[in-house]
Amino acid sequence: MVKETLLNAAILRLRSALLETYAIVESTLNTAIESGTAQVLATKAVELAQIEMAIAVLERNRENLTAPAIEEEAPTVVEVEEDLGAPPVKTEFSSNEADEIVKKFNKSRKFHQPQEDE
């Protein structure tokens, strides 16, 4: 309701400006021609076009502009259960520990590395 009233008020203001500008054009055409009269008419014609377009845009988009705001859905809450029985994972290793882990991995996967010649 408030949106509709506000939109109507804006359109009425634009129509008022349109009528005023049109009256100026008519008045200019009914007065004696002076230097710059063509420029005044051209400027007022541009104003008329802008105002008419503004009215058309508001009227064309009236439904979208006055529609109630779409409420966003609340995010879905997901509860995660921790596996408290699992041991903590170690993430830092010394060079020797890393070499040992790689050897165990290679052995478990039956990965064959060629022997280096000594």
pLDDT in single tens digits along all 118 residues of the chain: 788 999 999 999 999 999 999 999 999 999 888 899 999 999 999 999 999 999 999 999 998 888 887 776 777 777 766 666 666 666 677 778 878 877 777 777 665 555 655 4
Question: Domain coordinates of the chain in residue numbers?
Answer: 2-66
Its pTM stands at: 0.55
- Looking at 31-94, list the stretches that DSSP marks H as alpha helix, in order from N- to C-terminal side: 37-60, 62-66
Return the SS3 of 22: helix
